[in-house]
Structure 1
Amino acid sequence: MHLVQNLPSDNHGDALGAVFEGAGRISVAVAFLKYGGAKIIGPLLEARLEAGATVEAFIGSDFYITEPKALTHLLAIAKRFEGFELFLADRAKASFHPKLYVGRSETQVRCLVRSANLTGGAMATNEEASLQAAVDPDAMLSTDLEAAFQRYRGDARFHELDDLVLGQYASRHKQAERLRRRLEKELEANLTSQFDLRRLDEYHAQYLADDDLSEALEKRREDRAEALKVQRSIAGLSRTPKLSRADKAAFADGLGNLISSKGGYRHLWHSGDIHRRGSEALLHPRRTIDLFAEGRKAAKLGPEAGYEKLRRIALDIPGVGVNMITEILCTFAPGRYAVFNGNTSGALAAIGVAAPRNPTLTGLSGARYAGLCATIDALRDRIDGADFTDADAFLNWLYFRTKPAKPVDGK
């Protein structure tokens, strides 16, 4: 038993020859057959058929990848030898995807269980890996292989290949090829301008080279630490049964320091326009205070559960959106939660990652947010960021670095 790869000294074409050598009965099951593969396996099968062997081959047709020209090549051989049974699979809900090649003699069963389909590339040049084995006829592997092909023989999806079956398949294949070429052209047109992720390294190098940005990141970390103190203070107000005027003033002062730089406030959250809608939350102190208190608890959960818990509470508070609740969560747990806002979305879009452009609490579910968190965390790992504060800073810079310039004078 050994692993077959397409190495100069050991490729899949050679392995097939070894499996079929001396076999009195050959069984083949393969998902895709192309002309290059048919030309390789055809002579091997002919040699055994001329020696009196019997051959059965089950070919898949999923996605119309199997080539009519290849089927024609093998059908011509089958017409010459009574001992060659050739079957083509009909389309079904479940794909036909095995790659099995078995050669049986009286004393030995040889097989190749492989990743490679019957194509020219798979036989010699593709990166493939397959297991070649030889066992006694009464071994369990031999019995399992026989059972597999017995199932194929009884499967109603298979039709014995003749010119009628081939003609119908060839017609469908032609239509599929026309649609595939059209789709490939559209994909090529749409994807040629897509961001090459390798450019992230270039952008990150530019980012690191700017001393001002390094200082800004340090300021962001300091502000995040200060914001944590403010959030804890606001959350602590939830223990007060009835808010006094002083409590409400403390809440307003704390929220102001988080969301705004106007009126002497410190704008500890760095989301640019969060104050525009967030200021509405000042009119609902009790509910917003409770949101912070629940945020402290939710931040201990995983991204999907924690975000979803806070999202449901925030739905009833005017002025609170995705930006605010993710700032709350990120401040309480910067190693677990990413800030998500329009700038984040724009930066992700610039590097070819689809994200909601104007995320809303009703539109961005916990599952979707968790997926975005995972994406941003992968980016954080690429830039060797300590936590999501670093990722947020880089994405915010990337957004403005890649943002299209506004038209000048209406042009």
Structure 2
Amino acid sequence: MTLTPAAPSQPLKIFISTGEVSGDLQGALLVQALYRQAQILGIPLEITALGGDRMAAAGATLLGDTTAVGSVGIFEALPYLIPALRFQGQARQYLGLNPPDLVVYIDYMGPNLSLGKFVRRALPHVDTAYYISPHQWVLAINRKDTEALVAIADQMLAIFPQEATYYREFGAQITWVGHPLLDRFSPPPDPLQARQQLGLKPEDKVVVLVPASRGQEMVRVLPPILAAAKLIQATDPQVKFLVPLSRPALKAGLAAAIADSGLTATLVDQDTQAAIAAADVALTKSGTVNLEIALMNVPQVVTYCLNPITARIAYYLLKLKAPFVSPVNLVLEEGIVPEYIQWQATPTALADAVLTLLKDPTARAQMQADYGRLRQILGEPGACDRAAQLLLAQARSPEAIS
């Protein structure tokens, strides 16, 4: 979409709502693109947001930092209920006093669905968009949530082709823009350069551990990952372990857990991308980071654990049985990276899977070839700028999308 430049006038005002570390990353990339495209068009722009440090660094004015209140699961969400409600109240008050030209939701289904219903009710003339919609195309339990998501968004922008197909069937005005992470890893980073940056030798055997970006993952996912790493270390003492830090708030807890486990590992809090790029294999939690690892061309083993009661309710009562949990496998609709979820996530199983990839160059090469297919499916670089163009067009002229 091409817009004609406009003479500067009153700033265009956009409000963005997201949460968790991955939402903050995607939000930051979008904020950068919005300012970039607005500058090209000569449009003064103001962005206010619920998000995190990355969005603030990209130029958004934060109403609150929502990266610390994200969770997966029923019981896991309870400790964050009060702060989440407080952020919701702040957002509603702000929007009521400062109606923007456009409200943009990014993932973060529960809070954004609630906020979206408020905007529809209290600010019916404010246009809305959903960018990176919740994975209902994978995990939907019933139609009502999907219908509600479509109802709160005048426009939806999809990053996965299956996402666009799914929501379109529910009547959404939706455009597939491609995946924003392609811009960060095209081409993939050089592993030898990453090793040099971290003081590692080319011949070193390196495993990167990516256990947590949420507090609940420190409790449920970190222990089996550290236990698996101990087994790997006992089998092959030459393996070097790196643990990149996803959030500064987790540093003390991660350092203490590593020390208590007896694992010899290096906590990396600066060159986190290099820590992944330098690895032979990643042992990682499921989430957006799986796509980052794949786009960095690093073979990986994926795991995740919830509160056992939450898991049983989801599996037996709600009948929630997704074919895969890793976005890599979901996009390709194949199990190209091994997944060990909940009861399968034993230290022995995780260690064996990592050791197999360390010892078998053919298995690593096959996974990397599959990553090539993944890149093709995710589209072309430039997703954030395409999304920004569509959002700016909507903010300037809402009728343009109808």
TM-score of the superposed pair, with normalisation by structure 1: 0.24
| Structure with greater strand percent | 2
Greater RCO (CA < 8 Å, at least 6 residues apart) = 2
Q: Specify the structure having the higher radius of gyration (Cα).
A: 1
